[in-house]
Structure 1
């Protein structure tokens, strides 16, 4: 074991609440000390039941809001963005964001109100406000959305936000889903500037993006995600146990099982030891 102090890493599982199998996998990994945060889709029907079981692990991981504006039924009426009672797919939402539709008075009000509803649904089931806010499919970075997120964070003292940017050189060295990673990071420049101006806590580095196609085993990806980490690095993962509900609501199924199997296994433990990495909650990062 190296004599130097271990490098801290925040390892966050997204999509808690999406399906029972996702909830069970995330809880198991938190209990084993293999995750230190999870992001909750509080508008999903499996959040409330999942909150009760997750509460037993509340001292082992940060629990935050995975603000969702795509593909799900919203918690309240959104006649501009979800006139048929279902939020738009990501591509349509991004198009609206960069054509200015999300900056209209009506759209901004709907986004702000839906975020408030999702925070309230989180808090009602969890018994406390979220430790942080991020976005399902990274929508919290979009113009017209990030403003509402920053306003909400200002009312949650101590809460942090996920930033998704990485140095371009680091992305190129890693060589994993380079265009996708650069796109996601590039979307976050405005949010990063707002967060810094407002003094909202945030991670410094981010990793975990890949294409979910299964062309590379997840066991080969995680070492790349951990290359050169430092500062306050957050790595996102999407573990889960496939079940009928997951298959009904999402196309990402088998990659979740592969991530779960790897994260709970001995190879991941050996990687952390070999790299002298200590999994931590956000508060465990050096100030």
Structure 2
């Protein structure tokens, strides 16, 4: 870990001096201190990214730049530090000692980040390229949400551009979805577990803590995440009601499809939350899924900065990091419980915008990633839909109880995802 520490120190000192110079200069000009610190940090970060790649860790990287996602990760960590540290220091923030602290804290953290980036780059370029193209399964979520979503999914399946979809068992266009699926028996289907919006499947009086005043599911991902880390004594009631709703959705799915064994994933990826998957593992064998989706998402190289900036702005990077951590918790549990899962995955970093260059880059990366022989093929997730100018807005067509999905599916990106996937060369 401490190899090339001298070179790192030299680059770090220069980055720290650059940070301090810009920070003091902007502060002297009257800039708001957190903003001045942020601008100084961004400048020092870009310098560090290039210098550490090509000088400090040249032995590991061969002079290549680190993959760009490492810059994004480093920026996220440092942006948080640059905002919180001045606030935490309060009245002492403009002292000399505080300036030293503002500079040195990110420097120490950055060493950990860049050292990890160097090792990742070395591994990336030492991996043997596969002699064959690894299989990738193309999958769409939200089947049943609306007819224009169903139609796009079925059209892509008919063009052999989609392999599977996830069914929402209480969604408004459920019957339309089932009719289309029954005409396509080769289409793989999974249960799309919904806990954050729309009407529940279980009777409302059995799950009062999961619904709002209108009787719709209303607990967001963040709330369920917080509930997952609470002591069971405080979350037991919620935990039990989640179990009731899960069993109701599984029972309905099996009844509708006639399947005795089934696969499962989650709307907004709620199935990765401990409070949810712990209930899944408590189910009797006849109700337990045989396959659960995991989010082991590699970051694709070679994309222009504008795509990464878009992923940052729309929350894809942060979402990916959170789900990566949750994924690292559930994956060994699934192996122990002998529940199958996919080898690798793409679709969170650029969620909602899997079109054009990001779609092609993610597919290329998935084809290069080695997967365990015990895993199913890697999975590429999309959310296609038709945008038709001759009918009402998609925002108006979707049931208002699906408040999280309404704006998502009103976006023109749904049509762009459909078009990109329709013309993509898979082989």
Global fold match (TM > 0.5): yes
Alignment partners' CA distance in 2, 1:240 and 1:102? 43
Aligned mates of 1:29, 1:153 — CA distance in 2 = 36
Gaps of 5+ in 1: 274-287
Task: Mark the CA change 1:180 to 1:158 in structure 2 (over 3 Å): closer, same or farther.
Answer: closer
Distance 1:238 1:193, change over 3 A: same
Return the match for 1:219 from 356, 360, 365.
356
1:57 lines up with 2:184 in the alignment: yes
Q: Which segments of 5 or more consecutive residues in structure 2 lack a partner in the other structure?
A: 1-129, 372-376, 388-393
Structure 1 runs of 4+ aligned residues shifted over 6 Å read none
RCO higher in 1 or 2 (8 Å CA, sep ≥ 6)? 1
Please state which structure has a larger fraction of its residues in helix: 2
User: What does 1:1-287 correspond to in 2, within 5 Å?
Assistant: 5-59=132-186, 61-76=187-202, 77=204, 78-84=207-213, 85-87=215-217, 88-100=219-231, 104-129=235-260, 131-152=262-283, 154-155=285-286, 159-166=290-297, 170-171=298-299, 173=301, 175=308, 177-211=316-350, 218-229=355-366, 230=369, 231=371, 232-242=377-387, 243=394, 244-246=396-398, 248=400, 249=402, 250-253=406-409, 254-265=412-423, 268-269=424-425, 272-273=426-427
Do the aligned partners of 1:240 and 1:260 also contact (CA within 8 Å) in 2? yes
Q: Is the 8 A contact 1:111 1:145 kept in 2?
A: yes
Contact 1:180/1:209, CA 8 A, preserved across alignment: yes
- Give the stretch that moved more between structures: 221-230 or 174-183: 174-183
Per-residue deviation, residues 197-219 of structure 1 (Å, max 9, x unmatched): 111111121111245576xx711
1:152 shift after superposition = 4.5
Bigger mean CA deviation after superposition, 6-15 or 149-158: 149-158
Query: How high is the TM-score relative to the length of structure 1?
Result: 0.81
Tell which structure's C-alpha radius of gyration is larger.
Answer: 2
- Asked whether the equivalents of residues 352 and 382 of structure 2 are also in contact (C-alpha less than 8 Å), the reply is no
Deviation of 1:261 after TM superposition, in Å, equals: 1.4
Greater fraction of residues in strand: 1
Per-residue deviation, residues 237-266 of structure 1 (Å, max 9, x unmatched)? 10112434238542112221111111112x
Residue 199 of structure 2 aligns to a residue whose secondary structure is coil
Deviation, structure 1 residue 148: 1.9
TM-score of the two chains, using structure 2 as the length reference: 0.56
Q: Distance in 1 between matches of 2:329 and 2:238?
A: 19
Is the Cα contact below 8 Å between 1:122 and 1:129 reproduced in 2?
no
Distance in 2 between residues matched to 1:127 and 1:150, nearest whole Å: 22
Q: Indicate if the aligned counterparts of 1:13 and 1:236 stay in contact, CA closer than 8 A.
A: yes
* Distance (Å, rounded) in 2 between the aligned partners of 1:101 and 1:238: 35
2:227–2:235: 8 Å Cα contact kept in structure 1? no
For 2:378 and 2:258, locate their aligned partners in 1 and report how far apart those are by CA, in whole Å. 28
The CA RMSD over aligned residues, in Å, is: 2.7
Question: Secondary structure at the residue paired with 2:274?
Answer: coil
| Alpha-carbon distance, 1:86 to partner | 1.9
Task: Classify 1:104/1:157 alpha carbon distance in 2 versus 1 (closer, same or farther; 3 Å).
Answer: closer
Distance 1:148 1:181 in 2: 24
